[in-house]
Amino acid sequence: MSSERTTRFVSWVSRYIPDALTACIVMMVLLALAAWLLGNAPAAIADGYYRGLWMLLPFTMQMTLILVLSASLASAPAFRRLAQRLARLPRTEAQLYTTVILVTGSLSYLYWALGLAMGTLLVIYCAREAEQRGIRADFPCLLATSLAAQSLWQFGMSSTAALLMNTPGHFLEARIGLLPLSTTIWSPAALVLEVTFLSAVLITWRFLRPAEPRPISQFPDTLKVIEEESAAAPSGPRVTLSFSQRLERHPLPFLILAAALAGWLYYHFAVKKMSVDLNVMNTTLLLVALLVHRNSAALSRALQTAILACWSVVVLYHLYAGVAGLIQYTTLGTQLAVWFASISTPLSFTLLTAIGATVVALFVPSSGGQWVIQGFVTSEAAAAVGVTAQKGLLAVSIGDQMGNLVSPFWAVVVGGIARIDFRRFIGYGIAYSVLWFVIGVLAITFVPS
């Protein structure tokens, strides 16, 4: 695809993709109509939506904390200095994109929220440094490329579905047992996919960037992210602090809390022999945030800015949960999944499962939530056609990330962090989603898992 065609495509996407709130309502109407056509009574459809509307309250708070704490880490002076140093390394446009892709991809593999928050901030620093040095770089395309590199989280250390299936007592243990990570995120198929997709992204950006780049100076709200962080640093003449102010700036309270959290993590892993879950991840993030910011005053300043990036999760997750309720509490989800399973063969299983997962992911922006909805039917279908449950999990993950790149939900989160309308860059994300889907389906179909 030429740069001119890419620019026209992105412009077309920006005109026709509504904001996330509107998209939620459109999804609700379409799914409610489909459920009605499949024989569900209007009262049952309404009840399913309402039951779903509030079923993700704990999960919403967990996700909010993940984003807030990750964004607070990204704004920490230590990370800002690191981001600034990394931003000074590229001397050419190719080096610029390579730096963003490799760093964001690595952060996302370790923990998806780190790639989301820190990777986005790195793009801002890199784009500003590039413009100051006269390096041609299109900020929206660079942002979308970073978002594409974040796809590595699907088979990384924070892969929600894989971690869930390796946890004793999970909801499918009686049927399929535990699925060791060596057979899911560390399987040959997953590893080949990660390496191949990352290599493809390192090449594809050259064909997507527009002929006339839009530097970051055209997005003044984005530049304010850096300016506000600099302004937040203490400055001016020394003043006499009260006892409470000195306590807020002293590291001792944070060290006490950090020691308590570290002790709990040791007890969780070493004594109870438990595995990683979302609460453990949030505890770890909180511990790191305490150590990085060192005192209450610094962390409070960071949290005040970080919370701005999370409005979409606080509000939209409940609307998406309502849509998920239409799938989970009517016959719609089961009938769709069963239909895909009925036409599957060992060769077509991955493709059809990934397609079905993509459709569900458009309405359920949660890897774990999606697996809860699709896991039973997917594992049953896998057994029926003679493939492993692991292949089903990996195929669902392909569709999940395809939906993440196409749906405006996560683009809105990235746009919130970068303070740019998500429609300015989501068109590039759609192009990368096709790349992810093709490579993913081929890898999971033909490489052992």
Residue 236 lies in a domain: no
Of 428, 416, 351, 335, nearest in space to 140 by CA: 428
**From residue 13, how far is each of 18, 149, 306, 425 by CA, in Å?**
9, 21, 28, 9
Residue pair 391/2 in contact by the 8 Å Cβ criterion: no
Of all helices (H) and strands (E), which one includes residue 338? helix 332-342
Hey, what are 162's tokens? 């894989």
HSE-CB for 410 with a 13 A CA cutoff: 31
| Residue range of the domain that includes 79 | 3-230+243-446
Q: Count the domains in the chain.
A: 1
How high is the pLDDT of residue 80? 84
How high is the pLDDT of residue 105? 97
Residue pair 171/379 in contact by the 8 Å Cβ criterion: no
Residue 64 to residue 62: CA distance in whole angstroms: 5
Of 132, 84, 123, nearest in space to 101 by CA: 123
Residue 235 lies in a domain: no
Residue 91 lies in a domain: yes
Residue 13 lies in a domain: yes
Count the Cβ atoms, other than its own, within 10 Å of residue 243: 7
Q: What global pTM score does this model have?
A: 0.79
Residues with Cβ within 8 Å of residue 268, at least 6 apart in sequence:
274, 280
How high is the pLDDT of residue 135? 95
Residue 30 lies in a domain: yes
How high is the pLDDT of residue 97? 97
Residue 386 lies in a domain: yes
Residue pair 117/71 in contact by the 8 Å Cβ criterion: yes
How high is the pLDDT of residue 47? 95
Phi-psi region of 419 (alpha: psi -120 to 50; beta: other; left: phi over 0): left
User: Each residue's pLDDT tens digit in the chain (449 positions)?
Assistant: 555 665 666 566 556 666 667 877 888 999 899 999 999 999 999 999 999 888 778 777 877 888 788 888 877 888 888 889 999 999 999 999 999 999 999 999 988 878 888 899 999 999 999 999 999 999 999 999 999 999 999 999 888 788 778 877 777 888 899 898 899 999 999 999 999 999 999 999 999 999 899 999 999 999 988 876 655 555 556 667 888 888 889 999 999 999 999 999 999 989 988 777 678 888 998 999 999 999 999 999 888 888 876 776 787 778 877 887 888 789 887 787 677 678 889 999 999 999 988 987 776 666 766 786 778 778 888 888 899 999 999 999 999 999 889 877 778 888 888 999 888 898 898 889 999 999 999 999 999 88
Q: Which amino acid is at 376?
A: F
Instruction: Give Cα 275 distance to the centre of its chain.
Output: 21
